[in-house]
Amino acid sequence: MRHKVHGRRLGRSTAHRGALRKNLVADLLTFEQITTTEAKARTIRPEAEKMITLAKRSLAKAGEQPEAVIHARRIAAARLPGIRTTEAEDGTFENIDVVRKLFDEIAPRYATRPGGYTRLVKIGRRPGDNADMAVVMLVND
């Protein structure tokens, strides 16, 4: 029985699990939609919501406490990988700063929303190993 056992192990060591979480949250913030297994999606969803809330609260304090914004950016930078490389339609590669995108694009979009920034949609089972798959996406506001 798993009484009072918090979190999912996902068949990985502690360090591997932490790196997986950071990378999946960074991918969600970068691409705004990812397809993964349902267990991984349920694991990263609260963390992504907390990162958006951190950025949103720091933007609300930007006028009276500029040091709060710097502190929040440092917290986000410690919890997320720095840069994601994406491929554009024309085949060129572009570096995206995850923290900058979180604070400059995503947080202002949800400034008036009280929570619930992500949506989890189950899409069936993966053909190879029959794992439950899901899409995690940022909701449009």
Global pTM value: 0.91
> Which pLDDT score, from 0 to 100, does residue 118 have?
96
- List the chain residues with pLDDT less than 70: 141
Taking residue 135's Cβ as centre, other Cβ atoms within 10 Å add up to 14
- Contact (CB, 8 A) for 59 and 69: yes
Give the pLDDT score at 8. Answer: 87
The predicted pLDDT at position 42 comes to 95
CA distance 53 to 80: 14
